Structure 1
Amino acid sequence: MRIVYVNGDYVPEDQARVSVFDRGFLFADGVYEVTSVLGGKLIDFAGHAARLKRSLGELAMAEPVGEEELLAIHRELVARNGIEDGLVYLQVTRGAADRDFLYPEAGTTPTLVLFTQSKPGLADPARAAKGLSVISIPDRRWGRRDIKTVQLLYPSMGKMMAKAAGADDAWMVEDGAVTEGTSNNAYIVKGDTIVTRQLGEEILHGITRAAVLRLAAEAQMKVEERPFTIEEAQGADEAFVTSASAFVMPVVEIDGAPIGGGRPGRVAARLREIYLDESRAKAV
């Protein structure tokens, strides 16, 4: 049985308990991170820890533990659950308090929960060779998407819309331009230029995004950070997404229109290769 971490204790998942008054349950008053595991080691852990700290700060939420202890917890869970390839999810809420829209008094103990998912072959899924199909949907999320909160209902609805349409995922559109995927950052390639939306409150500041754009620059690839439309994406040479769990994943169809002849392109393939090579070399 899987072992999970709850507020300082490692317990079997069927014994894990969080208060019914936890503000994560009552108000979605919480944030999360997910870190990939390859070969039993953590990918981009420092980046995820830094973003967690930022998210907590934006919500005036206390840090439950320091980064060193957080790393130790991740490693312990990976070891206890025998994770070779997979994911470690972390969630922090403001803690348990009597139901009130106002934040509870200072000193309320945050809730810290972590759990693993085993994903054998995480870095080599067949869909990386096949590519994803996506549909476009209106972006109806709240405005602070740069904070990685547990408010994931609309992205979940988006994935169900995609499933109903026979697609793999959805790209969200606001004011005529693509913001991001339901759980990933979105990109197109036109000629020798990679285009992706600039950072702001409209999108999540992806840890994989940052690494991939840095690697693209080091590989002498041209990057343009700006909004793009679905129509522009449909006329692109390539499209792809990045995330902690998908790494770099080609997109070969948008709203039924094939991209790049309906096959993954060389830019996405190259970025996936160099990202995984570096991530494995620097994994902790």
Structure 2
Amino acid sequence: MIARVFPRKTNASPTDGLAFFREPTIENISDCIEAGITEVHISVTFTWDLDRAEELYYAWQILGVPVEVGGPAFDDRMGDFKPGMYLRDGYVFTSRGCTKDCWFCSVPRCAHGVIRELPIADGWNILDDNILGTSEAHFRAVCEMLKRQEHPAIFTGGLEPSLLQQWQANLLREIKPKRLYTAYDTKDDLEPLIEMGKKLRTAGFVPSSHTMRCYVLCGYEEDSFEDAEKRMHQTMQACFVPYAMLFRNEEGRTDAQWRSFQREWCRPIITGKKFNEFWYERK
């Protein structure tokens, strides 16, 4: 039996009784002993949580069982996936890795341009780094799995604009997802993003539903507020609701002014209103 410890709690964190987010309390220790815990795994997603993970590593030694530290912050991204272990129920990886080599992303350091298809577990929130890069058979099997779920699908991991084919867009429409995300990270992404919007609309997606959403990277070196806002408007013009993703270095540092800009462009109520107003003015 394994206890899992996390430096911070997120929407994706497990919710069972053996998932912990701080140093062990007397109650935690009692629960672990009663459950027969034989290992403690500290899972670290963000590099800026490494110092906190070290503190937790020493604190959880009190159980007297092996304590291991790993996770994406250690480039541990290509292994198997066990539902519910390090992510809450419903969140799934059906593949690992990515074919791209983006300068701002840590995935290429361990994927080396490879996508590893995994056994498909039931879930509704797809976290794959590049699911459109998987084989046709795998993608179709994932879509069939999603059709069986009680929850409408969400593609949080994102869909690569340059890879989307019309048959995939049509299949996505059959699933009736709640949200699907793509990304506008560099200037080269704009034309594929526009084409992606066209394919999704051809498949039957309606921009007013706000299903089509797009992460827009901002705040990196040499970026400007004017350029970032231009990308937000280009994203809306391509029929996607923008979601500002603020660039962080490995220490997790961000600029206060950029954080203010991000708040204006990442809250669904605000961005949804901006999107509606943008399209209303075009009519």
Which is higher, the Rg of structure 1 or of structure 2?
2
Fold equivalence (TM over 0.5): no
With the shorter chain as reference, the TM-score category is: under 0.3
Structure with the bigger RCO (C-alpha within 8 Å, sep 6+) is 1
TM-score, L = length of structure 2:
0.26
Q: Which is richer in helix?
A: 2
TM-score, L = length of structure 1:
0.26
Q: Which is richer in strand?
A: 1
